Structure 1
């Protein structure tokens, strides 16, 4: 089999293989706003990008470009990281590295793209102050330190203006590489060497833009020229030893259209690799993360000999594996897909590992590279949003990722540093996967969950409007670990995928099909309705919500559905215009009389965010609901399961004063959301169903990896 075109089956076989004796699991999540001092405006944007660790493995440093400085974290107790504060550097830090009791930080001070400048700041870790600086003459991007700590290499990118012309090259001035000797652990600025890169690449050769550097034990520097699609090896003498084009790849079975559909059937034209991150594996081999850039996205990584020979290329295999765990970023299909960017190599015990970051899939892929010609994908680790930097700490069996995206302005997740530990524990993630299915199944944004009476060992989930061009119902085998999506049924109307659907509720119709709720949006001409589909997913019946309610409609409508006898119960997510404050409706539709009625459900007190219902299901003598706020992380207050006695559900006609039902709290889900994978508390707990043994299963909605870490939590919560 060609190493360039591994099939989906081979990828799934890797992930479906017997569990390893050891695995990485996340043990802590550190929000970088914790490094802001009391009294600071914590709504300000912050970030964690490139990260490094002290030699004793107890202190982390990361660059925070929006804040213009670096942050420090004490990980002496790796499961309880402590903030050590920020250091203001009056510029844009791009990369940091700890050497002994000091740190060196590349700081971009450029006035413009045409007039770049920068320095290498020297920081005393103990006092958290800048003690010196070297003028680099241009805009630094990456810093590497020789394994013997004899010198530093800095990539001076002098990056282009992506909005100028077509964003291509050349855009002067040219970049270069700086080599700086270290003297007594500090850079010897007086002996700075500039290494010219011009005239090497076939693409924009007069304007090289060095992106990333790494140094091997022989003192050789490998440099990626991302925009030039070129790789350079600099010898220990500071002279160019070799250079070569990174070449192109042809990808089969990928999605290249941003169209609300997961369609992995396209074969691409040749795409330049355009490598970003690079790491030496040994003195003769290195790996590159091929992010792509202005020429597209090659979506994988490559292992090279230093003479330019390709030893192995991931082709579509990494992206297919990420598709399997529901982390594929459909909105990036037209651009660079999963977008591999950062990487790290380290040996834990006898096993050499390569860690590859998917910036847009928010995943750290773990490869055993014992055989460089046949790397084995052993795990896919969940990270925060957009992992940018990664650092292995083998002496402590730790791995750390820095995740740059900070979406706090929108009430979403903040930037985080994640810490993982290698141990004998089984992998905690993924909790749900389509790996092993006969065909490649793309999935995500699961907003509804249901069981079917008489069907043991199976649950069914539905995706919401993120995939508007392929609304789907997924069959899940819950007897395996992780649980497996084994089949997908697309909801159709007139033989074509149904349009304008936002499936938020799902329940069996008792005849092999399902009833669905469609959460409407009047601004987009999406109706609030319930629909019935048969076993093939064909819409056979559509019932609009009553006109007397639609006069008061908002975007937040039908969210859950359950069938009791011949009555369909529908949970409305939030208050509509005719609801008293703090109450939502549970609607009842009599399938025989074809009449609507309702009761009022009292919501928990509203905090900073909004409060609403996410699910409705029936088990035994009770109706169960998920009630939640829309807050994330430490701000989250309510993610709970309540229940209502069926005997108390006595709806009255619409227009009458609705009886307010009594509810009973059953489970606070926040402790579980924290402990399942040791991540931050996610927003959207949206699905609840009971299996044939009476166990409650819960699923979270990952928003299709749009402004989300992509994590889907799916677990057996036991008896309620």
Structure 2
């Protein structure tokens, strides 16, 4: 029996299309086109971070701060593609950067301690990549912004508090201030003025901690005093405080407030905004990203009228709803600050004006149309690397660049720059071709950590997915695969003895007569590997354990996939167990009618970095399994993300303790092109695979386990992998 995976629809069935190529022209939207890990500017072994970035006027060069390495980095930007272009050491910790003319202005923290803060403004000639001037700032700088006319720069000198002193309580001297740099003449001739900000905030008036600054065309600097929950507007030419006002507090309903593995947006919070980033939406209205720090964090972004400080718009629970609907809500932060809005940037792209709101913990950037700044209109949310810190719109190239700062080589998380281009091509087509996000959404059903997929017998449209231990209790999700993006449209909670139950569910197979088989992974110690039979209503019918002699050899890498082929249920063990030959994992076969177990060995691929294991099984027919095999690497080091065909028709699995026959395998699809389509960094955990439809030609789809955003980028990904034909 031959099985073939077709490269495209025309190769196997010209009569079916996921989306219509003749779809009407879509409104403009941002499409990811490239991701560059910043270690490419140095070494994979070095701890790096891209934090705040700026671009040259033509948009061809991006300059970013790399605080851990004490330097700035350069990246070339061509056609939306980013490539490394060198680094330049700084005399301390760079905290922010902006560009005027041919110079980069870098704010550098040189503080000896919290009580002895100091800093420099370092001026770099972008043509020669050399320092040409430095100016003492008299304190620890944070944010920098240059006036649109290029005549002045404003620097928020924070002089941040020591959080280990009195639990971080304010006040802690010395006080922060705003530095104004007059950019007159050659860089060495520039002068620095100080604007004091004490005595104005209701919270710790003697200890203002300026966090972020934004300058408008009228040379007015808006400054957030984050811990003081205050906003100040300063006239830069005179250094006079024009006005100031409290950022206030807000009550937000419909948010998740418990770190409990359940996405349950039924809570209410009241919190001070304590804004981080601030930006002028136009010459009158200001926007803030209300991250919180000292005691606050309202999970919102807010629009203020700068004339009197009145709130004209608050996002309420919208940012959380966006993250939930896109499968990127960080439940682990529910008891703290949720999605944690931190960054905010504003720019006009042609006739359209956009605000970009960065969610540090959700790894998302929400894009808003602010044609009317009092009524922002949500457009889309862009998945990013871990910890989006810097948001850099570049209208000259119709590009947004996002700096993601988290860098942990041992977790496979690398700091990166990602580029997104504004386009008018139909979004539905790009999503169907794995080139755009989101690829899977819901209408309020919380999801993520999609660890297994299964077709539904007799159903040409839906698959079911199962959530792993990142969430509890275990749920079976129904996903509409013909919707673009795919849509989570229903959920079913798994129960045992009438109560919700949580497994580390890593695989699911829908049964022809209704109900499911679930593969529950054990830990090799206290939690056994189980094959769980679940009724159509979600009730556990039985838990089937492995033979004791086999279970005793288990390690922490257990069951990872399950499939039904004829009268048998097949399970994949992720990696070698204690009794296995090196480089071989196990395929286990259970026969429900007899209760018998039998086993075969599966030869794993090898990879230069990390380990390789099995992630999923799906049955093509009673004689053929498709096996998803992957390494544990992300990004540029990812090498093995493959689907293999295994013929079980002639296979004779053996009982426990007997030498296991080794199956043959044949490659049918490399998933890396789909995982990296549209400029994405390769995800490490494709863990779902299903064949959808009936008849000889079916659609192959996949899903990525986002780990519930725990030490992971967190993007929920649904893959459309082409046509599978049997003939």
Q: Same fold (TM over 0.5)?
A: yes
Separation of aligned partners in 2, 1:618 and 1:91: 58
Counterpart position of 1:505: 507
Render the CA deviation track for 1:505-564: whole Å, top value 9, x for unaligned. 1001223211101101144x3221111111222211101122111211111101000112
Q: Which runs of 5 or more residues in structure 1 are unaligned?
A: 1-17
The alignment partner of 1:166 has SS state of helix
Relative distance call for 1:333 and 1:174 in structure 2 (3 A) is: same
**In the alignment, what sits opposite 1:622?**
624
Matched, 1:26 2:26: no
Q: Deviations over 1:636-655 (max 9, x none)?
A: 11100001113133211111
Residue 522 of structure 2 corresponds to: 520
Contact kept, 8 Å, 1:363 with 1:387, in 2: the verdict is yes
Give the match for residue 8 of structure 1. none
2:50 is matched with which residue: 44, 48, 51?
48
Please state how far the C-alpha of 1:431 moved relative to its aligned partner: 3.9
Give distance in 1, aligned partners of 2:81 and 2:700.
31
Return the alpha-carbon distance in structure 1 between the equivalents of residues 711 and 649 of structure 2. 41
Contact in 2 for aligned 1:23/1:426 (Cα 8 Å): no
Compared CA separation, residues 648 and 162, structure 1 to 2 (3 A) = farther
Q: Matches of 1:426 and 1:707 in 2, distance apart?
A: 33
Tell me the equivalent position of 2:483: 480
Which residue of the other structure, out of 494, 499, 518, is the alignment partner of 1:496? 499
Distance 1:409 1:593 in 2: 45
Unaligned runs of 5+ in 2: 1-23
**1:405 Cα offset (Å):** 0.8
Distance in 1 separating the partners of 2:350 and 2:142: 32
Helix, strand or coil: the match of 2:65?
strand
Partner residue, 2:539: 538
Instruction: Supply the distance in 2 between the matched residues of 1:383 and 1:511 (Cα, whole angstroms).
Output: 41
Q: CA deviation at 1:434?
A: 3.8
Match of 1:442 among 433, 443, 446: 446
* Correspondence 1:95 to 2:99: no
Please list, as runs of the form range in 1=range in 2, the aligned pairs for 1:595-614 lying within 5 A after superposition.
595-614=596-615
Do the aligned residues in 2 keep the contact of 1:78 with 1:419 (CA within 8 Å)?
no
Aligned to 2:4: none
Report if aligned partners of 1:571, 1:616 keep a CA contact under 8 Å in 2.
yes
Distance 2:223 2:185 in 1: 26
Structure 1: how far apart are the matches of 2:132 and 2:351? 40
Partner residue, 1:346: 347
Choose 646-655 or 244-253, whichever is displaced more.
Answer: 646-655
> Which residue does the alignment assign to 2:215?
215
| In 2: Cα distance, 1:687 partner to 1:42 partner | 29
Paired with 1:83 and 1:46, the residues of 2 have a C-alpha distance of 13
Paired with 2:64 and 2:671, the residues of 1 have a C-alpha distance of: 32
Alpha-carbon separation, structure 2, partners of 1:560 and 1:591:
17
From the superposition, tell whether residues 422 and 310 of structure 1 become closer, same or farther in structure 2 (CA, over 3 Å): same
Deviations 1:422-458 (A, max 9, x none): 11123344344444x3xx2111010100011112311
**Which shows bigger deviation, 470-479 or 44-53?**
470-479
Cα distance in structure 1, aligned partners of 2:649 and 2:404 = 49
- Please give the secondary structure, in 2, of the residue aligned with 1:673: helix
Q: Shift in Å at residue 187 of structure 1?
A: 6.6
2:6 alignment counterpart: none
Please give the secondary structure, in 2, of the residue aligned with 1:526: coil
Kept after mapping to 2: 8 A contact 1:262/1:470: no
1:386 aligned residue: 387
Count of paired positions: 688
The verdict on how the C-alpha distance between 1:596 and 1:296 changes in structure 2, with shifts beyond 3 A counting, is farther
Contact 2:583 2:603 in 1 (8 A): yes
Task: Please give the alpha-carbon distance, in whole angstroms, between the structure 2 residues aligned to 1:83 and 1:396.
Answer: 18
Q: 1:188: Cα distance to partner?
A: 4.3
What secondary structure is seen at the aligned counterpart in 1 of 2:254? coil
**Cα displacement (A) at 1:130:** 1.7
Say if 2:628 and 2:644, in contact at 8 Å, map to a contact too: yes
- Is the contact between residue 180 and residue 192 of structure 1 (CA under 8 Å) also seen in structure 2? yes
For 1:337, the equivalent position in structure 2 comes to 338
Moved more, 489-498 or 401-410: 489-498
Q: Map Cα deviations across residues 118-146 of structure 1 (whole Å, 9 max, x no partner).
A: 11111111222222211101000000100
Residues 156-200 of structure 1: CA distance to partner in whole angstroms, max 9, x if unpaired? 0001112222222111111000011002363744x3211111111
The 1-side partners of 2:349 and 2:560 are apart by 47
**Equivalent residue of 2:320, what SS?**
helix
1:661 corresponds to: 663
Aligned-partner Cα distance in 2 for 1:539–1:214: 57
Write the distance in 2 (CA, Å) between the matches of 1:300 and 1:172. 30
CA distance in 2, matches of 1:187, 1:377: 44
Aligned position for 1:14: none
Equivalent runs, 1:277-292 vs 2, <5 Å: 277-292=277-292
Any idea what the Cα deviations from partners look like across 1:616-636, whole Å, max 9, x if unmatched? 010134100001111111111
Question: What is the rounded CA distance, in whole Å, between the counterparts of 1:175 and 1:670 in structure 2?
Answer: 49
1:635 aligns to 2:613 (yes or no)? no
1:496 and 1:19 map into 2 onto residues whose CA distance is 49
Task: String of CA shifts for 1:678-710, please: whole Å, max 9, x gaps.
Answer: 111110011000111511001111111111111
User: Superposition pairs for residues 244-323 of structure 1, below 5 Å?
Assistant: 244-268=245-269, 270-306=270-306, 307-323=308-324
1:715 positional shift: 2.1
1:430 aligns with 2:432: no
User: Residue 4 of structure 1 aligns with which residue?
Assistant: none
Q: Is the 8 A contact 1:140 1:154 kept in 2?
A: yes
Provide the rounded CA distance (Å) in 1 between the counterparts of 2:394 and 2:567: 60
**Which residue, out of 464, 468, 478, partners 1:464?**
468
- Counterpart Cα distance in 1 of 2:650 and 2:198: 78
* Aligned ranges 1:575-594 → 2 under 5 Å: 575-594=576-595
Matches of 1:257 and 1:125, distance apart in 2: 48
Provide the C-alpha distance between the structure 2 equivalents of 1:538 and 1:434, rounded to a whole number of angstroms.
Answer: 26
Tell me if structure 1 keeps the 8 A contact 2:547–2:656.
Answer: no
Which shifted more, 351-360 or 604-613? 604-613
Per-residue deviation, 1:232: 0.6
Provide the secondary structure at the position in 2 that maps to 1:47. Answer: coil
* Mapped contact 1:35–1:85 kept (Cα < 8 A): yes
Alignment-derived partner of residue 6 in structure 1:
none
Contact 1:149 1:185 in 2 (8 A): no
CA contact (8 A) 1:181 1:188 kept: no
1:568-589 deviation line (CA, Å, top 9, x unaligned): 1111000000000011110011
SS in 1 for 2:679: coil
Q: 1:195 maps to which residue?
A: 195
Deviations 1:209-265 (A, max 9, x none): 000001000010100010111101112421111111101111111111111221111
Q: In structure 2, what is the equivalent of residue 13 of structure 1?
A: none
Q: SS where residue 85 of structure 2 aligns?
A: strand
Aligned to 1:362: 363
CA 504–586 in structure 1, closer or farther in 2 if over 3 Å, else same: same
- Which structure 2 residues correspond to residues 106-117 of structure 1 after superposition, within 5 A? 106-117=107-118
TM-score with structure 2 length normalisation? 0.93
Q: CA deviation at 1:391?
A: 1.0
Mapped contact 1:119–1:134 kept (Cα < 8 A): yes
Partner of 1:409: helix, strand, or coil? helix
CA distance in 2, matches of 1:185, 1:461: 62
